[in-house]
Amino acid sequence: MDVQLRVVSSSLNHVDAIINEGKENTWRFTGLYGDPNTSNRNISWNLLRNLNTQFAYPWLCAGDLNEILKSYEKLGGRPRPVVQMQEFRDVIDECGFRDLGFIGNKFTWHKNVMGGDTVWERLDRAVANGDWEALFPASKVSHLECGCSDHKPIVIHPLGVPIRRNKPWRFEQVWLQDEGCHVTVEGVWSSVQSNMSPLVSVKTKLERIQVGLKHWSRSSFGNITKQIAIVRKNLRDAD
């Protein structure tokens, strides 16, 4: 989906942008990082209030807001003060926002505390006003898994979660017993030029190895799934 984006304002804690300005499908996105210091949390809420007065576009806001709306969005540790949650709910209501929900794990942040316990909270979320929901009625929010951070990334799908029509590719353990597998991997890995960044280089190599192994496995092994199904059927018939 092609979009035009103009950043209207930004700071260490937010980016506010207009999408497709001047067109029928104009809307607004605000990325917000809520102040982690509880005593400064109102700075973030007042920022939202100020942004709310500036435009009347369909509005989407998302990020690590560092607060929960309800007590059930926290597991473990001391209960969140009711007043603190109410201040967050108040600004959400004032901006006309509604929580967009999620697909995936309920909590997006965790912290190990003394005694071996873990605190889980839903700090990362996406909220939008009614006009944005009307513009993107099929929108969904996904909570992804990440092993390198205490936060889970969230992905917003304005047009709905894309449907995967292709079957997922799987590496078969039996391939490791064939020398052709090793030759294919080594050949593809060494064929990729190294004049790119390390991350891009590894990504490119893995993608090409997948393609190379697909072609090699078809000629060397055929369709393993079908072969297994045939063997199982023959065994059942023999019984």
pLDDT digits (tens, 9 = 90+) for 190-227: 887 666 667 677 778 888 888 888 888 877 766 666 66
- The whole domain housing 211 covers 173-238
pTM beyond 0.75, yes or no:
no
Scanning the structure block, which residue is given the tokens 């201040």?
87
**Residue 215 counted as domain residue:** yes
Pair 108, 223 in one domain: no
Task: Compute the half-sphere exposure of residue 174: CA atoms within 13 Å on the CB side of its CA.
Answer: 8
CA distance 83 to 68: 12
Q: What is the pLDDT of residues 67-112, one digit of tens each?
A: 999 999 999 988 999 999 999 999 999 999 999 999 999 999 999 8
CATH number at residue 36: 3.60.10.10
Identify which of 23, 34, 116, 122 has the alpha carbon closest to the alpha carbon of residue 75: 122
Give which of 34, 60, 62 is closest to 47, Cα–Cα. 34
Together in a domain, 57 and 150: yes
The reply to whether 19 and 134 lie within a common domain is yes
Q: How confident is the model at residue 170 (pLDDT cuts 50, 70, 90)?
A: confident
Is 162 a domain residue? no
In a domain, 165, yes or no: no
Q: Do 16 and 88 reside in the same domain of the chain?
A: yes
The rounded Cα 88 to chain-centroid distance in angstroms is 23
| pLDDT per residue as tens digits for the range 10-21 | 999 999 999 999
Question: What's the pLDDT score for residue 220?
Answer: 75
Number of domains in the chain: 2
Backbone φ and ψ of 96, nearest 5°: 75, 25
Identify whether residues 57 and 118 lie together within a single domain: yes
